[in-house]
Amino acid sequence: MLFSIRRTRRERERLQDRDISRERMEYYRKSHALEDLRELHPLTARPVRTYAVPAAEPVTLTAHGLPLDEIEDLLPKSAAYCQASRILLAPPNRVEGRPLTPLHAGHVALLAVSSLLDGIFGSGESRHISAWRSVKVTDSSEEVEEDGTIVQRERERFANELTLVFASGKTAILR
Amino acid sequence: MKNAHLRLGTLRYTRRTHDTTIDVRVHMDRLILEQRQDGCALAHLVSLVGNDADIGGVWAAILDGRTFWLSAPGLGEVSATVGDKPQCWRGSILVPGRKQPLRHLVAVSRELALTAPGGDNASRRTILCADNPVFVLYRIAQRFGLPVVPEWAEWFVGELQRRKAIAPLIGLGCSPVVVRGTGKAFLHWIGKGVKRDVIRVPEKKGPINWPSFDGAFDPEATEPAILSENRSVQLPRPT
């Protein structure tokens, strides 16, 4: 029969490989001492001595681990999920309310390219659904200098793209 | 909800150096996993919770591109990595009755991070964390800037299935899918669908109202059997 005590987490982290090797050597040495125990008589079906187990109070089991049910309920409100939801869920932009002053053309343009005015417009054959978005465009240029050196330049810029689907089935991408 | 231990998975990270061994285990509540040809799986999303030291160690391992062991109900134990250039976010959770707050880490692979609006527009693959038809259509439209309405969701997902452009991924706490196709191809499908009168541009003018997808991460919103039987895959152990 082997009795042991479980180490705490701090004790486990402080444990080094050489300690484990030393303990293993000690265990090996002691196991040779068990050779003497072979002289013990084998157990039989009839007990040699009977030990009465005393009555005890009901045991209360206490969990010292993490309260997973509560954690699971709290996780969706975590700041990490709030930041990751921009990628995972991409929540739609919601604009409600009435502007204080009438919108000028510039205001409307800003709202449109921000994808805040996407929707259904027009009537008859020109009825369409519009979707604005910003795209990154890379402009490449190549110049040959006097000494024959080729200089390649790449410039990144943001552009606006409007995609339309008309009621007739015609589609268009305007840049 | 009760019995969270039946739904949560575990991430185990082990690293041996010449004089010490690091063995960290943390709980995992969300996972999106894709099997690769080389036997090692790619985790597109892992959401982990643990103490400060454990989460800090796993965070460093993820940023370093290390491989770790993942286990989840119905999945067994698989080795996986989040890949190069992952995006990570950390937060704290105050659990009543505990002195120290728990740390929460969400790591997203580069491929999943690029599905955000304005990401890689030329990509042919889109990883989505839910297979709800309205959500699939919304995220594809957001990514590629497509003019669509929620009423087309069933038709769009049916079209994806007919063309075998949608496939399920292994998920814990969510039902992830991968959608294959470019924005131009999807716009072409939509144009053809409107021409054939399979879908129609609504008569009512105005903005397009999408439902809220905030509940996509609620445990109650996900299926009780986290990994349904047809998604349960035993991945090979690396040699």
Whether the full predicted model's pTM is greater than 0.80, yes or no, is: no
With beta carbons under 8 A apart, name residues in chain B contacting A136. Answer: 118
Separation of alpha carbons B147 and B170, rounded Å: 30
> Which residues 163-202 of B have a C-beta within 8 angstroms of A?
187-188, 190-196, 200-202
* B15: exposed, middle or buried (Cβ count in 10 Å: 0-12, 13-18, 19+): middle
| Structure tokens belonging to residue B198 | 């399979």
Q: Which residues of B65-79 are buried (b: 16+ CB within 10 A; e: fewer)?
A: eeebebebebbeebb
What confidence score (pLDDT) does residue B161 get? Answer: 94
Q: What is the pLDDT of residues A94-105, one digit of tens each?
A: 777 888 889 899
The reply to whether residue A87 touches residue B89, judged by beta carbons under 8 angstroms, is no
| Structure tokens belonging to residue A39 | 């002289």
- The Cα-based distances of A15 to A5, A8, A12, A28, B96 in angstroms read 15, 11, 5, 19, 32
The residues spanned by each domain of chain A are 118-174
Residue of A16, A64, A89, A118 to mutate, interface with B, max B Cβ within 10 Å: A89
Residue A48: how many CB atoms within 10 A of its CB? 7
The reply to whether residue A17 touches residue B106, judged by beta carbons under 8 angstroms, is no
Q: Where are the alpha helices (DSSP H) in chain B?
A: 52-63, 110-113, 133-144, 153-162, 183-195
Share of chain A above pLDDT 70, in %: 94
What confidence score (pLDDT) does residue B159 get? Answer: 94
With beta carbons under 8 A apart, name residues in chain B contacting A81. Answer: 47, 89, 91, 104, 106, 217
Flag whether residue B17 sits within 8 Å of chain A, measured between CB atoms.
no
Residue of B nearest to A120 (CA): B205
- The Cα-based distances of A74 to B1, B72, B107, B128 in angstroms read 11, 20, 18, 23
What confidence score (pLDDT) does residue A148 get? Answer: 87
Q: What is the pLDDT of residues A107-159, one digit of tens each?
A: 988 888 888 888 999 888 889 999 998 888 888 999 998 888 999 999 988 88
**How far A125 CA lies from chain B's nearest CA (Å)?**
11
Instruction: Identify the residue with better confidence: A163 or B212.
Output: A163
The reply to whether residue A163 touches residue B147, judged by beta carbons under 8 angstroms, is yes
Residue of A12, A88, A125 to mutate, interface with B, max B Cβ within 10 Å: A88
How far is CA A72 from its chain centroid?
14
Residue A56: how many CB atoms within 10 A of its CB? 6
- The Cα-based distances of B3 to A67, A70, A71, A73 in angstroms read 10, 10, 11, 12
Query: Which of the residues in chain B have pLDDT under 70?
Result: 215-239
**How far A59 CA lies from chain B's nearest CA (Å)?**
23
Separation of alpha carbons B132 and A167, rounded Å: 26
Residue of A nearest to B106 (CA): A80
Q: Which residues of B173-203 are buried (b: 16+ CB within 10 A; e: fewer)?
A: bbbbbbbebebeebbebbbebbeeeebebbe
**How far B50 CA lies from chain A's nearest CA (Å)?**
9
- Region of A115 (left: φ > 0; alpha: ψ -120 to 50; beta: rest) is left
Separation of alpha carbons B191 and B177, rounded Å: 24
- Pairing mode, if any, of strands B68-72 and B125-128? unpaired
The reply to whether residue A171 touches residue B112, judged by beta carbons under 8 angstroms, is no
The reply to whether residue A71 touches residue B45, judged by beta carbons under 8 angstroms, is no
